[in-house]
Amino acid sequence: MNRRQLAFIVTLNAVVSLAIAILVNWVAELRRPDPEELAALVTPVSQVILAATPASDPAVGQIEPTSAPSVPQPEETPTNSGPALTGNEEIYTVQSGDSLSSIAGRFNVTVNELMAANKLDNPDFVFVGQQLVVPGSNANAQSTQSSAAATSTPAQQGVVISEVTGGGAAETELILLVNESNSAVDLRGWTLGREGGAVYTFGSVNLFPGSSVRLHTGVGESNSVDLYWGREEPAWLSGSVVRLVNGRGELVSSYTVP
């Protein structure tokens, strides 16, 4: 093969390659969508809103446009900085360890009265810092009168006043409480008192079935079985009726001092 033939073959191959490239490009151009069609595919069709035109016939009444209904503006609600007092009441702020029953016992009111005054639904839920309205004229943490809300029929709690001994002297006077039930009883918020006398409010004291606790009128160091009131004068006069009242203001037990 001479140089002339080789040059011819190379030229022929170049022409064929160019023709193939032109053909491929032409086919690609044929399959490419038109830009206007492509824009029509991706452009959302705007909705046509037909506006009603008044009829030319005078017998047909024209439709008058109606104004959009006015939206009532929300009324401003006055903020309440705390419970409102309506009478001879007192505000108490819940402290750590408080419960409704202990607060009721402290102020000589019933749990139901506290719940009604504060519109509470759950007697087992109060939180630290909560402000409670303590109703009634006897809302005094150091009240010297027994709870007037105590019922005349003792509630079935299982804790009884077993005896009162050493009457007449604060250093010897004591009351014995016994749990005769089959379950433990928490005395938190319970009170001991007599008509016209001072009232003792229990702290966190758990009485297990068959166990007892002694409340001494005088001064001493309290423990799990002996509680000391710290008074210098006797509390239980002969012939007076001692009343044990639970945190709900119910009379649990009573005892006449001999």
pLDDT for the residue 164: 94
Does some domain include residue 230?
yes
pLDDT for the residue 5: 81
Yes or no: say if 199 and 143 are a contact pair by the CB < 8 Å rule: yes
* In a shared domain, residues 252 and 189: yes
* In a shared domain, residues 236 and 202: yes
pLDDT for the residue 155: 46
Does some domain include residue 141?
no
Yes or no: say if 238 and 257 are a contact pair by the CB < 8 Å rule: yes
Identify the CA nearest to 255 among candidates 245, 247, 94.
Answer: 245
pLDDT for the residue 152: 35
For residue 254, the cross-strand partners are 243
* In a shared domain, residues 169 and 228: yes
- Which domain-ending residue is among 134, 150, 169? 134
* In a shared domain, residues 222 and 166: yes
* In a shared domain, residues 199 and 130: no
Yes or no: say if 52 and 62 are a contact pair by the CB < 8 Å rule: no
User: What CATH number does residue 163 fall under?
Assistant: 2.60.40.1260
Residues 6+ apart with CB under 8 A from 1: none
Number of domains making up the chain? 2
pLDDT for the residue 178: 95
Instruction: List the domain range (segments joined by +) for residue 196.
Output: 159-256
Does some domain include residue 151?
no
* In a shared domain, residues 239 and 171: yes
pLDDT for the residue 35: 64
* In a shared domain, residues 183 and 119: no
Per-residue pLDDT 10s for the chain (258 aa) are: 677 888 888 889 889 998 898 888 888 777 776 666 665 565 555 555 555 555 545 444 455 555 555 555 555 544 444 565 555 678 888 887 777 877 877 787 888 888 888 889 887 788 888 888 888 644 344 443 333 333 333 445 689 999 999 988 999 999 999 999 889 999 999 999 988 888 999 998 999 998 999 999 999 999 989 999 999 999 998 888 999 999 999 999 999 998
- Which domain-ending residue is among 77, 99, 134? 134
pTM: 0.42
User: What CATH number does residue 107 fall under?
Assistant: 3.10.350.10
* In a shared domain, residues 252 and 164: yes
- Torsions phi, psi of 75, nearest 5? -80, 145
Does some domain include residue 43?
no
Does some domain include residue 144?
no
Does some domain include residue 79?
no
Tokens (6 digits) for 26: 């032409």
* In a shared domain, residues 183 and 228: yes
Does some domain include residue 168?
yes
* In a shared domain, residues 227 and 167: yes
pLDDT for the residue 144: 37
Say how far apart CA 102 and CA 202 lie, in whole Å: 8
* In a shared domain, residues 229 and 174: yes
* In a shared domain, residues 165 and 251: yes
- Which domain-ending residue is among 64, 99, 134? 134
Does some domain include residue 236?
yes
pLDDT for the residue 249: 92
Say how far apart CA 126 and CA 100 lie, in whole Å: 7
